Amino acid sequence: MITIAHLSDLHLGASPLAPRTLEDAVATLSGRELVVVTGDLTDGGRAADLSTFHRLTAPLGDRLVVVPGNHDRCGDDLGSALMSGARVDLQLREGCAIVRVDSTAPHNRVAWLSHGRLCDDVLRLIDEALARVPRGLTTVVALHHHVVPLPAEGFWEHVSEVLGLPNHSELALGTALLKVLRGRCDLVLHGHRHVPRQFVVDAEGARPLRIFNAGSTTALGAFRTFLLDHGALLTEPRWVQVTQRPRPSPQHWQAPLRALTLA
């Protein structure tokens, strides 16, 4: 069995509350979880904020797995610091394989161009990484950007939507990615959208593919954990609240599970 804690969109540097919330989150963990942080660790891509992240997550050791988000590409461009320049790699931990995917691109250096980008070469690298996963391991794909359409959030995204700009759009190859993952992967963990969501492909099949958007851990003051055994979720995902400050209600966090059909 393995427990995965999914954090995302910490935006360190945006507010003094963000590092305190991350510190609270790390203190809440039992010490056995695999912790996946799906990008936007920093708000402005500043190296000093990444240092804060490393300091606060040091107790996690090699149980920490991160991918870059679009905000991490601004400022000092932390993309290669977070994934060594690779677009895809395979991380093996006890009972779990994590395929890390860098869904950011050079256009993210411009702060308002926030959308992600995949290409056929990246899909091929993901396919090859999945082929190397030992049989029977819980398999997770971690990336920052969303793979299915999600509603615009905030004023400027609604403006972008009206203008037909791609800023808040899902990955153009999101459905193609899900087709690569179907039957070979158990969880897709992502962030970027700050409101949590959840989806499932092949809900009644032998190997459902579940997709979770963490939302912004520091804005919500909460994160999900997943208890899995050989890829099967043993319980419903559990929300852990890490601060006592006023937060959105649990009803706001707990978006209903939606079934997806892949054409």
Which positions touch Fe ion (CB under 5 A)? 9, 40, 69-70, 192
Measured from the CB atom, the residue of 150 and 176 that comes closer to Fe ion is: 150
Task: Quote the CA–CA distance of 135 and 10 in Å, as a whole number.
Answer: 33
Q: C-beta of 73: minimal distance to Fe ion in Å?
A: 10
Q: How far is the CB of 10 from Fe ion (least distance, A)?
A: 9
Which of 68/231 has CB closer to Fe ion?
A: 68
Q: Which is nearer to Fe ion, 9 or 33 (CB)?
A: 9
Residue 140: partners with Cβ closer than 8 Å, 6 or more residues away: 4, 36, 96, 97, 98, 99, 185, 186, 187, 188, 189
Cβ count within 10 A of residue 32 = 11
Number of helices (H), then strands (E), belonging to the chain: the values are 8, 13
- Minimum gap (Å) between residue 114 Cβ and Fe ion: 6
Residue 248: CB minimum distance to Fe ion, A: 16
Nearer to Fe ion, 9 or 102 (CB): 9
The residue among 69 and 174 lying less far from Fe ion, judged by its C-beta, is: 69
DSSP string, 161-213: HHHT-STTPPPTTHHHHHHHHTTT-SEEEE-SSSS-EEEEESTTSSS-EEEEE
